[in-house]
Amino acid sequence: MKLIMAVVQDQDSNRLMSALVDNNFRSTKLATTGGFLKSGNTTFMIGVEDVRVNKCLQIIRDNCKSRDQLMAPISPMGGNADSYIPYPVEVSVGGATVFVLPIDQFHQF
């Protein structure tokens, strides 16, 4: 068994949880605040049999990997038209920081 700790962005959290459940991975979520990733994030703790570690990593990458996204321009509230960008901009979203930890014992009571 391994314990996978994965820090992912909040916006990818529900999709990752669904994908883990669909693939019979059991996880728990820890409430986390800022840090590795820019906006709000969530840490998943996932107990994984050794032979399924790669599958789990693939699911995390597929659902959370850093990618560019077009963001519609937002009208500046109350002015400062100087800094207004009147066309969509590409921003980087998502991303995951993943630790695979060895474990000495695993128990379910």
Residue numbers of the site for a copy of itself (CB under 8 A)?
1-3, 5, 7, 17, 26-37, 41, 43, 45, 47, 53, 57, 60-61, 64-66, 95-109
Task: Label residue 25 exposed, middle or buried (CB < 10 Å: 0-12, 13-18, 19+).
Answer: buried
Applying CB under 5 A, the residues found at the interface with Ni ion are 1, 50
Closer by beta carbon to a copy of itself, 31 or else 70: 31
Q: How far is the CB of 85 from a copy of itself (least distance, A)?
A: 28
Q: Is 41 exposed, middle or buried (0-12, 13-18, 19+ CB in 10 A)?
A: buried
Decide whether 15 or 26 has the Cβ nearer to Ni ion. Answer: 26
CB of 83 vs a copy of itself, minimal distance in Å:
26
Query: What six digits make up the tokens of 89?
Result: 């901009």
Residue 92 is encoded by which pair of tokens?
């980087």
